[in-house]
Amino acid sequence: SKGGVLDRGYVGHYTRTAQAGQAGNFALAGHRNTHGEPFRRIDRLRSGDRITVETRDAVYTYTVGKRLARTAPSDSGVIAPVPRSNITTSAGYSEPGYYLTLTTCTPEFSSRYRLVVWGQLTAMRPR
């Protein structure tokens, strides 16, 4: 729940989405203002930037490919197994893959919209 994870400064994993390194969409949410600000600079991520996710068993590298600067909080398509906006249908992907989705509120200090960053798995190494 939001109060149990996000408001304590952690990044939250959307239930019913893939785990890191699995086929589908590994989708995460985090605050960019207050509550630890884990996604403080998410708006600076650009195509080609790398995001590293570490688990107990492996280190995964995702490469940023696409962004959606603003969508409605109800746009559940952005965290679908093949992530694609239900509102801005040109935003997202159309083929199955190994995806990472990061979501946060936008504009800053508001929860009116969501900013979305998508990446694809490009490397994995065991720990």
Report, as residue numbers or ranges, the catalytic residues: 31, 105, 114
Alpha-carbon gap, residue 78 to 27, rounded angstroms: 9
Two structure tokens written together for 86 = 């239900």
Task: Report strand pairing: 24-29 vs 98-106.
Answer: parallel
Q: Which two tokens stand for residue 120?
A: 């694809």
